[in-house]
Amino acid sequence: MAEGTINLPKRGSAPGALAPIGRAWGRISPSLVPVLAVLTALIITIPFMIVTGGRGDFARGLNIAGTAYGALIEGALGLAVNDQVSLDDLDLIIALANSAAAEGAPLTQNGLRELDRAVGDLALIGAENARRYAAALTLAETAFPDYDDDALVALGENVPDLRAYAAALADETNRAIITELEAADRAEVRELAQSIATEDTLSAENRAALEGFAPSAAGVDDAQMLTLMDAINEEGIVRMSRLVPQLDALSAAGVPLDAPELTALSEIPTLTNDIGAARRVASVVEVLETAGTNDAAALEGQIATVRELYNLGLLTESDVQRAITTELESAIHENLIVRRPGNRLVVDPGNSLVGSVMNPGLTPEDTSDDKIDVTYLRFGDASALLFFPGNLEVMIVRSIPFIIAGLAVALGFKAGLFNIGAEGQLYAGAIIAAWFGFSPIFASLPSFIHIPLVLIIGLLGGALFGAIPGALKAYTGAHEVIVTIMLNYIAVLIVDWLIKSTNPWILGDPNASNPSTPNMLPSAQLPRFDTISPWLFIIAGVIWLAIGLYTRRDEIKQNWRAALRPVINALLIAVGGLFLIWITVRGALHIGFLVMLFAVWFSDWFLNKTTLGFELRTVGENPDAARYAGMSVPRNIILAMALSGALAGLAGTIEMTGVQMNMKPEFFAGLGFDAIAVALLARTNMRNMLAAGFLWGALLAGAGLMQLRADISIDLVKIIQALIIMFIAADAIIRYLWAIPKPTEKTPTLITGWGGK
């Protein structure tokens, strides 16, 4: 090396003391590519929120991003960290109550309602406008003490016209003419004003008619009369006559027409629709200034909190100031009171570190049907970790079809086939299963026969529809992508026809308000976990433990640690089942979850533990080598597509029998295409499909709450999904951004080329 040159380390290397960290990162990072792809997508969307929601304000944008992702986690997993209510959180209402008490007008519980309404108006109107309205009302009530609210509203509405016609109304002759015209027939005056308004000069005929109604018009020049009659045509004679006393009242009170208070008074009817609302807002501004604050939104939240404390019986004194002084502090310390977004509260009596708040269910007096609404873990007196099991339940239910359909696509990938027809196979399996589910022919079957029958039929329907492109590829070379795309349309449109056909009715329900099949018979519907006895899972765990200990008895004799695996598996079955029952609080989680777990296990076992699975993977890796080894490439192609279709059909059947209970046209709305993304995210690994499917379901389950809390478009989730797919497909981007070493082994090809076998 020449003297003076510097040998810089290559990107991704770890010189010196960082070498062990670099080597460790090099070992573990390749397996983290999907995780880092998701993390990168979440990070990249933050600038979108800064630009759109934050309007370029970096701090505000970060706050929106934090709110959005917090809501996404809560909506998907049911986890949230919220602050407990403290006296510091109620400082504004405390100051306001103290100020009201000092002025001799104590704030009462009933007064909170009116105050809440006024503060809500203030939050909409704004403090600056409220001050302008206060000045306008003070001026109006001083100048016109005899005016009621209706008269003040009328005055405000007439301010623009008073300014426009002030010069005309100030003329005594014009006033006399207006008085005389008002006494005449209004219809005839209106017709005359309309006729004059079309003229550039006052005709002799119209002048004669005008002087007949208003003798004072005699001798007034045409220009003045045309101007006055134009105003009468625009506003009407009654309105013009009412402007005169208002103009005189303003003049007598010494209020100039250009006074800003009049401008504010004219805006009150437009912005509040109620002079009383303006008066309430004006009084609140004064109270807030006396209390030393102008944060109406914060005060509104504190009022809502105090009102809820009254509703829950934690505050009882009618005088708010006295209730805060004597009851609030003890209520906060003796109960868990957590402030939730939207000024809602989670309240649980007592000082428990861990506890649950129950939902009374349909019959509040009967606790047997109570469900857990939220479980919490207190962090001192500052905050609490909340868990809403219903949110996790919904997320799991939404994830089930993605996981099974993802297995379908991944199984095709393993055979070197790109099964883009999962959508059609979903429909094919589900529509056949639907008939077996609602047909009266099977009404007498017990559930333990009817449910497996429906699931098996769904499997077979999807398998048959998947075998078609498999056979075409195996024997004609037709590429599965083109064939499955076309078959998607065929399946969707056939299902549409079967359900919508009315002459004759085929599979549609004549009594349904929207096109659909009849509902599944109760014996064909997948049971919910909340209807299953907990003892069933405990017994299943014991049986599994016994079987495991028996099959490993020789190993256990040699080493007692061999018994740990059966024990752990038995505990997972028992505890897992009890947990699923516990989180089924909305009655949504069904045993399709167990079918999904079995599908994941079976797919992994089939591919890695069976001869057929080995042949299928070999054909996917190298069809020529497989053919040379004596494996039937056509048979394996058909088998792979049939199995892939079977899994897709199973996904559609479970979604129908476990969630919707009937089949509708365009029922799955892209689920089959989302399955491709899930399979790519899982890297076609069957076990990874659980994490990938749960992530996809979590994004969809949390999207609604994210939109509500952060006030950003729900399409942000679609952007995140698109970025994830892009980073998975082009993982070189992730490898570069996170300094991940290139893979040392060749990545398996997902699909063969066009026309390949």
Give, in order, the Cα–Cα distances in Å from 127 to each of 93, 118, 233, 293, 303: 17, 12, 39, 11, 18
pTM: 0.80
pLDDT band at residue 146, thresholds of 50, 70 and 90? confident
Task: Read off the amino acid at residue 585.
Answer: V
- Cα–Cα dist 209/189, whole Å: 9
CA 533 from centroid of its chain's CA atoms = 33
Beta strands 383-387; 371-379: pairing state? antiparallel
pLDDT score, position 757: 43
Which three-class secondary structure string do you get for 68-128? HHHHHHHHHHCEEEEEECCHHHHHHHHHHHHHHHHCCCCCEHHHHHHHHHHHHHHHHHCHH
pLDDT band at residue 292, thresholds of 50, 70 and 90? low
Contact 437, 657 (CB under 8 A): yes
- Per the DSSP assignment, residues forming a β-bridge with 39 are none
pLDDT score, position 8: 47
- Residue of higher predicted confidence among 270 and 93: 93
pLDDT score, position 750: 53
- Grouping H, G, I as helix, E, B as strand and the rest as coil, residue 576 is helix
- Residue of higher predicted confidence among 208 and 520: 520
Q: 629 — phi, psi (to 5°)?
A: -80, 0
- Cα–Cα dist 151/453, whole Å: 76
Average pLDDT over residues 515-533: 93
Contact 305, 331 (CB under 8 A): no
Mean pLDDT lowest for which of 280-284, 434-438, 715-719?
280-284
Contact 369, 361 (CB under 8 A): yes
- Cα–Cα dist 214/442, whole Å: 91
Task: Read off the amino acid at residue 569.
Answer: N
Task: Read off the amino acid at residue 139.
Answer: L
pLDDT score, position 273: 53
425 pLDDT higher than 80: yes
Of 484, 474, 501, 472, nearest to 424 by C-alpha is: 484
Most confident of 466-470, 561-565, 716-720: 466-470
**pLDDT digits 0-9 by tens, 240-254:** 888 888 788 878 878
Q: 233 — phi, psi (to 5°)?
A: -65, -40
Of 352, 354, 374, 370, nearest to 362 by C-alpha is: 370
Most confident of 22-31, 313-322, 425-434: 425-434
pLDDT band at residue 670, thresholds of 50, 70 and 90? confident
Average pLDDT over residues 611-628: 92
pLDDT score, position 267: 74
- Cα–Cα dist 713/722, whole Å: 15
- Residues ≥6 apart with Cβ < 8 Å to 245: none
Rounded to the nearest integer, the mean pLDDT of the chain is 85
Give, in order, the Cα–Cα distances in Å from 728 to each of 40, 44, 413, 699, 734: 11, 15, 15, 17, 8
Average pLDDT over residues 586-594: 94
- Per the DSSP assignment, residues forming a β-bridge with 340 are 344
Mean pLDDT lowest for which of 59-68, 216-225, 279-288?
279-288
pLDDT score, position 290: 66
pLDDT score, position 753: 47
Q: 353 — phi, psi (to 5°)?
A: -70, -40
- Residue of higher predicted confidence among 187 and 15: 187
Tell me how crowded residue 266 is: count the other CB atoms within 10 A of its CB.
Answer: 19
Q: Taking the C-alpha atoms of 516, 518, 521 and 525 in order, what is their torsion angle to the nearest 10 degrees?
A: 0
- Residue of higher predicted confidence among 70 and 190: 70
396 pLDDT higher than 90: yes
Alpha helices in 104-259 (DSSP H): 109-125, 127-143, 149-164, 166-170, 172-183, 186-197, 204-213, 222-235, 237-253
Task: Provide the phi-psi class of 630: left if phi over 0, else alpha when psi is between -120 and 50, else beta.
Answer: left
- Cα–Cα dist 163/521, whole Å: 74
Beta strands 344-349; 79-83: pairing state? unpaired
Of 314, 322, 419, 309, nearest to 646 by C-alpha is: 419
- Cα–Cα dist 268/156, whole Å: 7
Q: 417 — phi, psi (to 5°)?
A: -115, 140
Token duo for residue 196:
């004059």
533 pLDDT higher than 80: yes
Average pLDDT over residues 449-463: 96
pLDDT score, position 126: 73
Of 547, 531, 426, nearest to 484 by C-alpha is: 426
Average pLDDT over residues 613-620: 93
Exposed / middle / buried, residue 698 (Cβ in 10 Å: 0-12, 13-18, 19+) = buried
pLDDT score, position 384: 93
Average pLDDT over residues 504-514: 88
Average pLDDT over residues 113-142: 77
Contact 282, 130 (CB under 8 A): yes
**pLDDT digits 0-9 by tens, 340-394:** 988 788 888 887 889 888 877 656 565 666 788 999 999 888 899 999 999 999 9
Tell me how crowded residue 96 is: count the other CB atoms within 10 A of its CB.
Answer: 26
- Per the DSSP assignment, residues forming a β-bridge with 338 are 84, 346
